[in-house]
């Protein structure tokens, strides 16, 4: 498809396990964002990749969280030793170089993580 | 630091009534403001941006730099406007990182 694709759409895991969430941005989009949306809360910025620049990791809540992006393609968000407070919908968005400055992000449907 | 505040978590109006969703921001540089919307079971999507000065689905928003506000308005609400609305901010100084408010859930009652 032409949109941002995220997998898995749903993930249930046990406390203490590691999880990996994947995002396939729209082809050609240089910018990629990860946001977290906890139940009843707004979007919480996690990390921002823009082209070859160093990623802005200022939103990662702890060192258990990390993200990688290969060139201008797929990104993975990894959460180690998951905790119950990590339960949330993790949203990925991408944007073209023009779109970055015009604020037009294209969002995926999200990965819902439940930590038991 | 950049911050977006949406003071109302919930807003309920009747069909045909005017609606205003409030947004205030904090940003030291020259901001660019946006409204995003998420309808039930749909993806989050851009509704409008201040720089375009456009009206989308009857909604408008004016950037007031003096009051650091970017309120979203519609004169006559429709049931299909029921959705979650997020105000967002970016700017050159932030390398265009988009910061969102916590959102306002708008319910338009028949």
Q: Which fold has domain A5-96?
A: Immunoglobulin-like (2.60.40)
Q: Which of residues 70-89 of B touch A (CB under 8 A)?
A: 86, 88
Average pLDDT of the residues in B37-52: 89
User: The tokens of B36 are what?
Assistant: 């995003």
On the CB side of B93, how many CA atoms lie within 13 Å of its CA? 10
Which CATH code fits B3-109? 2.60.40.10
Query: Where exactly are the structural domains of chain B?
Result: 3-109
Contact A23, A70 (CB under 8 A): no
Q: Would you place residue B93 in the very low, low, confident or very high pLDDT band (cuts 50, 70, 90)?
A: low
- Which residue ranges of chain A lie beneath pLDDT 50? none
- Whether residues A103 and B43 touch (CB distance < 8 A) is answered with no
pLDDT tens digits for range B58-72: 999 988 989 999 999
- In this structure, the number of other CB atoms found within 10 A of the CB of residue A13 comes to 16
Sorted by where each begins, the domain ranges of chain A are 5-96
Task: Give the pLDDT band of residue B43 (cuts 50, 70, 90).
Answer: very high
Residue A12 Cα, gap to closest chain B Cα (Å): 20
Q: How far apart are CA A29 and CA B10, in angstroms?
A: 34
Considering Cα of A52, then A54, then A57, then A62, what sign does the dihedral take? Answer: positive
pLDDT digits (tens, 9 = 90+) for A43-54: 888 999 988 888
- Residue B92: phi and psi, rounded to 5, are -60, -45
The torsion defined by the Cα of B79, B101, A35 and B11, in degrees rounded to 10, comes to: -30
One DSSP character per residue, A24-51 reads EPPTT--EEEEEEE-TT--EEEEEEEET
Chain B residues closer than 8 Å to A42 by CB: 6, 86, 100-103
- The predicted structure's pLDDT at residue B81: 97
């Amino acid at each position: 498809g032409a949109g941002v694709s995220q997998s898995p759409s749903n993930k249930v895991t046990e406390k203490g396990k590691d999880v990996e969430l994947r995002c396939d941005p729209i082809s050609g989009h240089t910018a990629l964002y990860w946001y977290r949306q906890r139940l009843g809360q707004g979007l919480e910025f996690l990390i921002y990749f823009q082209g070859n620049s160093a990623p802005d990791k200022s939103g990662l809540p702890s060192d258990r969280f990390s993200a990688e992006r290969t060139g201008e393609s797929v990104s993975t968000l990894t959460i180690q030793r998951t905790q119950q407070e990590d339960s949330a919908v993790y949203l990925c968005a991408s944007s073209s170089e023009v779109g970055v400055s015009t604020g037009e992000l294209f969002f995926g449907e999200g990965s819902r993580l439940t930590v038991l | 630091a950049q911050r977006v505040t949406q003071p109302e978590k919930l807003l309920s109006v009747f069909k045909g009534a005017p609606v205003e969703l409030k947004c205030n921001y904090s940003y030291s540089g020259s901001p660019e403001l946006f409204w995003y919307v998420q309808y039930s079971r749909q993806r989050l999507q851009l509704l409008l941006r201040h720089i375009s000065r456009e009206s989308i689905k009857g909604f408008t928003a004016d950037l007031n730099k003096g009051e650091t506000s970017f309120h979203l308005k519609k004169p006559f609400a429709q049931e299909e406007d029921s959705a979650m609305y997020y105000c967002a901010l970016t700017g050159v100084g932030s390398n265009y990182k988009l910061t969102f408010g916590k959102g306002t859930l708008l319910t338009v009652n028949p």
